[in-house]
């Protein structure tokens, strides 16, 4: 039935969107987590962290000369540094919420019904992915909006905005397929909500909230080479109007690897019957 993949995906997407609208708590959580983090880091810790970064001369919005001690000590200086990291965190937590949604869905008898019907296997998973992408995009836009409201002032051309959005979408797509696989292999929704936490917190051990160069040895190497750091650096560079260099390519490479791996893992996991 490969000729019905698109139709079936759209049919099932309608179903998933209805779920999201009728049971919005997961989506709301995906938006609120990063917003609360933003308020915490900017409103509560911003002054201290900003002062710490300013002292190192590594903080600031890049090329427009805001690394001076006084301006970086102001919360607005630190928000320029962490907003891209928070936006990435929003993408990660939005994507990872898919794991719970998929796991819950698999425990519902209706998915077993789909399996006994001539419905494309890919369509069942693709509908989840598209639904999750849509909610992640809305959530990420919301988080970006709050950042701007708190004083984040990006200096980017339209083309750079689009490039940043494009990278975020690719990252979201890759992480969502990974989350689908995690949801499929999790025995319970509780387990499905735990394992992705590692991924949601990975940006912390990267350059999201502080430069990797300031981290202790060992942690620093990990922070420099883990997948989120090039993505965060690329987004930061695109929004600050500074050159991104080869980090953009590395970020795209990671997206491709994570996405392809997640897709293959998801399909393999879905073809295996679940023990009841």
Partner 1 sequence: MTNTVPPMNTVPPTNTVPPTTPRPALAITATGLRKSYGGKPVLDGIDLRVPAGTVFAMLGPNGAGKTTTVRILSTLIAADGGRASVAGHDLAAEPGAVRAAIGVTGQFSAVDNLLSARENLILMADLYHLGRRPGRRRAAELLDRFGLGDVAGQPISTYSGGLRRRLDLAMTLVGSPRVIFLDEPTTGLDPRSRRGLWTIVRELVAGGVTIFLTTQYLEEADQLADRIGVLDHGRMVAEGSAAELKRLVPGGHITVHVADPSALAAAAAALGATTVDEDALTAQVPGDQRGIAGDSTSGNSTSGNSASGGRTSGNTASAVRSVLDRLDAAGIAIADLSVHTPDLDDVFLALTGER
Residues of this chain that interact with partner 1 (CB under 8 A) are: 1, 4, 7-8, 11-12, 14-15, 18-19, 22-23, 108-110, 112-119, 273, 275-276
Smallest separation, CB 134 to partner 1 (Å)? 17
CA 203 to mean position of chain CA atoms: 9
Closest approach of partner 1 to the CB of residue 23, in Å: 6
Nearer to partner 1, 26 or 170 (CB): 26
Q: Min. distance of Cβ 141 from partner 1 in angstroms?
A: 25
Cα–Cα nearest to 180, from 265, 56, 54, 256: 265
Is the Cβ of residue 101 or residue 171 nearer to partner 1 in the bound state?
101
CA distance 33 to 26: 11
Q: Following DSSP, what letter does each residue of 150-214 receive, concatenated?
A: TT------HHHHHHHHHHHHHHHHHHHHHHHHHHHH-SSHHHHHHHHHHHHHGGGGTTSSS-GGG
Shortest distance, CB of residue 15 to partner 1, whole angstroms?
Answer: 6
Nearer to partner 1, 20 or 71 (CB): 20
Closer Cβ to partner 1, 11 or 157, answer by number: 11
Of 265, 98, 257, nearest to 171 by C-alpha is 257
| CB closer to partner 1, 8 vs 233 | 8
Which among 171, 165, 159 has a CA at the least distance from the CA of 144? Answer: 165
Compute the least distance from the CB of residue 261 to partner 1, in Å.
26
Task: Give yes or no for a contact between 239 and 156, defined as CB atoms under 8 angstroms apart.
Answer: yes
């Amino acid at each position: 039935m490969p000729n019905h993949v698109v139709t079936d995906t759209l049919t099932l997407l309608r179903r998933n969107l209805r779920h999201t609208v009728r049971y919005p708590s997961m989506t709301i959580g995906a938006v609120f987590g990063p917003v609360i983090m933003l308020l915490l880091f900017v409103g509560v810790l911003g002054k201290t962290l900003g002062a710490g970064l300013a002292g190192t001369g590594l903080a600031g919005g890049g090329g427009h000369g805001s690394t001076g001690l006084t301006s970086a000590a102001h919360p607005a200086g630190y928000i320029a540094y962490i907003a891209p990291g928070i936006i990435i965190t929003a993408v990660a937590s939005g994507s990872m919420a898919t794991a719970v949604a998929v796991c819950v869905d698999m425990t519902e008898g209706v998915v077993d019904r789909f399996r006994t019907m001539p419905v494309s296997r890919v369509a069942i998973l693709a509908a989840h992915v598209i639904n999750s992408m849509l909610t992640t995009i809305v959530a990420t836009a919301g988080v970006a909006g709050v950042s701007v409201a708190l004083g984040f002032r990006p200096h980017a051309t339209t083309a750079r905005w689009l490039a940043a959005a494009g990278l975020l979408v690719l990252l979201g797509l890759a992480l969502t397929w990974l989350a689908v696989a995690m949801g499929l292999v999790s025995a319970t929704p509780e387990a499905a909500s735990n394992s992705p936490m590692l991924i949601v917190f990975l940006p912390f051990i990267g350059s999201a909230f502080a430069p990797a160069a300031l981290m202790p040895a060992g942690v620093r190497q990990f922070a420099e080479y883990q997948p989120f750091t090039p993505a965060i650096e690329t987004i930061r560079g695109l929004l600050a109007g500074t050159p991104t260099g080869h980090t953009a390519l590395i970020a795209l490479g990671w997206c491709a690897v994570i996405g392809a791996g997640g897709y293959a893992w998801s399909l393999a996991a879905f073809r295996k019957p679940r023990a009841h």
